[in-house]
Amino acid sequence: MKLRQGQLHVTGKGGDEYLHVIDGVALEALGAWLEARPVCRFPFVFVQIPPGRREAGLHPATVERLIKTVYLAAGVESPSNRPFHALRHAVGFRMGNRGVALQIIQDYLRHKNPATTRIYARVDPETIRETIRREVQFPTRRRRS
């Protein structure tokens, strides 16, 4: 992961590389971390402390344990056995509930299949009724006199 003008260069699952946009608050937090962390010769943003001998970032299982620890410290019950994945879902649902287009959510979450992203498009029945009332005009029959 490398920082570049408000974007992270990320090596993801399967070795795929891509740029991931982050906002100003996350960018500031990341910058503060990079200044505060111990000197490290590896190109990874998140590393073992103290740095290990191997050139490797944190293992996904380690990240999961860290997130669970933060949940416990905050008094929050872990939503699943995969708390990082639960955070991804929280972001997807938040974006969906705020009307963000599914294609943007798909790109942001790096879903290859659009069907995977559809779970973030759940709409409550009252919103559907209101939209149909407002947007769908059914023809009416004229009465003959």
Tens digit of pLDDT for each residue in 40-78?
A: 777 777 777 666 666 677 777 888 888 888 888 988 877
pLDDT in tens, 3-39: 667 787 777 777 788 888 888 888 888 888 888 887 7
Give me the residue spans of the domains in the chain: 1-58, 80-137
Q: How many CB atoms lie within 10 A of CB 96?
A: 19
Q: How far apart are alpha carbons 114 and 120 in whole angstroms?
A: 11
pTM for the structure as a whole: 0.62
